[in-house]
């Protein structure tokens, strides 16, 4: 059990930072999805965070940082194009994989030589990370605040629904409103001559090429483990079909110009790609809440953020 704190004053954030520093877990909002945070240098706290998620212990976890000072603490041999990406997209929905320093221990990197870093664009997250830094902390390890394989939470209530049975009374859930992006950060491998995208997100290939002046290549190292790359992930309880053939009593998620078949339950009708991303996970949760056995999803067309949405839809349907 852990309570939701909805009025996150600076005092609350200070206390949450203190909690992290002494081994507590703090779920916090980001612009992508909510994360469940632990001190990235505290192996016991991270072990408990993995248990709360029900996630295998050898998975790497993203280290969230307050500012650019922390980059050199965690990473080395940083290519120029990664610096350009940090300049253009941090704070923001982007995670960079870089060569680790010895500060990034195996329990954070999943025994790999690379570390994942992200500076989130959410006032509460940045202030929490800033307060944590004042206490001598260097980064907060945070995966999405859901049980392993389940849909990422985009509200504090969804975090509570996922994890309340596993959290301890000392742990905290900070409420920062619904996440504005709604799908997880773009993960970019920056350990090669050219960047490659391991998980699509709101920072798109076109944006990366524009920022860095070099081309994005396909990942060649299939050994890099990205847990979101498991076939079934981001999955609700309901069975997901990638089509619009919703029958009576089944759920439908599709752009607003697509009509709801008679008797089907419309779970979301976004009018833009951004709204599609922002509402996808809450719509999947909504279907589960209503006890629907089947959800049909018509994926959005086009490039950019639509690529990330289709990726998550395919995984929710185990087609990834
Ligand atoms: O938007 C996000 O990235 C959210 C918010 C909370 O920041 N976090 C998130 O974390 O989605 P998670 O753990 O659910 O997904 C992060 C992915 C995982 O698939 C993990 O395997 C990969 O990033 N990852 C993290 N560090 C890595 C590393 N050192 N090497 C390879 N993959 C890494
Ligand atoms: Mg996740």
Q: At what angle do helices 80-89 and 205-212 cross, to 10 degrees?
A: 120
What's the predicted TM-score (pTM) here? Answer: 0.96
Mutate to test the pocket of ligand 1, among 60, 107, 231 (most ligand atoms within 8 A of CB): 60
Distance CA 128, CA 122 (A): 10
Distance CA 204, CA 195 (A): 12
Query: Which domains are delineated in the chain?
Result: 3-212 (3.90.870.10), 239-316 (no CATH)
Nearest to 298 by CA among 263, 257, 262, 239: 257
pLDDT at res. 225:
53
pLDDT at res. 220:
80
pLDDT at res. 320:
61
Mutate to test the pocket of ligand 1, among 226, 231, 233 (most ligand atoms within 8 A of CB): 226
248 C-beta neighbours (distance < 10 Å), count: 9
Q: Are 125 and 62 in contact (CB under 8 A)?
A: no
7 C-beta neighbours (distance < 10 Å), count: 8
pLDDT at res. 20:
98
Q: Are 238 and 277 in contact (CB under 8 A)?
A: no
Atom of ligand 1 nearest to the CA of 109: 29
Residues forming beta bridges with residue 150, ordered by sequence position = 235
How many angstroms from the chain centroid is the CA of residue 11? 26
* Protein residue with its CA nearest to atom 13 in ligand 1: 143
Q: What is the pLDDT along the chain (320 residues), one digit of tens a residue?
A: 788 999 899 999 999 999 999 999 999 999 999 999 999 999 999 999 999 999 988 899 999 999 999 999 999 999 999 999 999 999 999 999 999 999 999 999 999 999 999 999 999 999 999 999 999 999 999 999 999 999 999 999 999 999 999 999 999 999 999 999 999 999 999 999 999 999 999 999 999 999 999 999 999 865 555 555 555 678 899 999 999 999 999 999 999 999 999 999 999 999 999 999 999 999 999 999 999 999 999 999 999 999 999 999 999 998 76
Q: What is the dihedral of CA 86, 89, 93, 95, to 10 degrees?
A: -20
pLDDT at res. 131:
98
Q: How many CA atoms lie within 13 A of 315 on its CB side?
A: 23
Q: Are 137 and 70 in contact (CB under 8 A)?
A: no
Atom of ligand 1 nearest to the CA of 95: 3
* Protein residue with its CA nearest to atom 22 in ligand 1: 226
Measured at the CA of 63, the angle between CA 58 and CA 65, to 5 degrees, comes to 175
């Amino acid at each position: 059990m852990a309570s939701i704190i909805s009025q996150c004053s600076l005092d609350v954030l200070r206390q949450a930072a203190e909690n992290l520093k002494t081994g507590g877990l703090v779920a916090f909002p980001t612009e992508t999805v909510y994360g469940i945070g632990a001190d990235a240098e505290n192996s016991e706290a991270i072990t408990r965070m993995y248990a709360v998620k029900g996630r295998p212990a050898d998975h790497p976890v993203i280290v969230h940082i307050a500012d650019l000072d922390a980059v050199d603490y965690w990473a080395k041999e940083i290519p120029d194009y990664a610096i350009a990406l940090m300049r253009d997209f941090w704070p923001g929905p982007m995670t960079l994989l870089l060569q680790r320093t010895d500060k990034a221990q195996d329990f954070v990197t999943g025994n790999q030589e690379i570390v994942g870093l992200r500076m989130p664009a959410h006032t509460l997250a940045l202030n929490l990370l800033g307060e944590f830094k004042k206490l001598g902390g260097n980064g907060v390890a945070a995966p999405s605040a859901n049980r392993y394989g389940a849909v990422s939470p985009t509200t504090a209530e969804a975090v509570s629904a996922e994890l309340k049975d596993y959290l301890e009374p000392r742990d905290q859930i900070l409420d920062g409103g619904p996440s504005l992006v709604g799908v997880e950060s773009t993960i970019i491998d920056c350990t090669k001559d050219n960047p490659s995208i391991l998980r699509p997100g709101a920072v798109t290939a076109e944006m990366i090429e524009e920022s860095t002046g070099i081309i994005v290549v396909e990942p060649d190292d299939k050994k890099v483990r990205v847990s979101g790359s498991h076939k079934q992930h981001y999955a609700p309880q309901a069975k997901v079909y990638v089509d619009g053939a919703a029958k009576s009593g089944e759920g439908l998620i599709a752009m607003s110009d697509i009509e709801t078949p008679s008797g089907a339950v419309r779970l979301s009708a976004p009018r833009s790609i951004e709204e599609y991303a922002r509402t996808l996970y809450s719509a999947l949760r909504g279907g589960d809440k209503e006890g629907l056995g089947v959800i049909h999803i018509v994926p959005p067309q086009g490039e950019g953020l639509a690529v990330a949405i289709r990726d998550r839809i395919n995984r929710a349907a185990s087609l990834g």
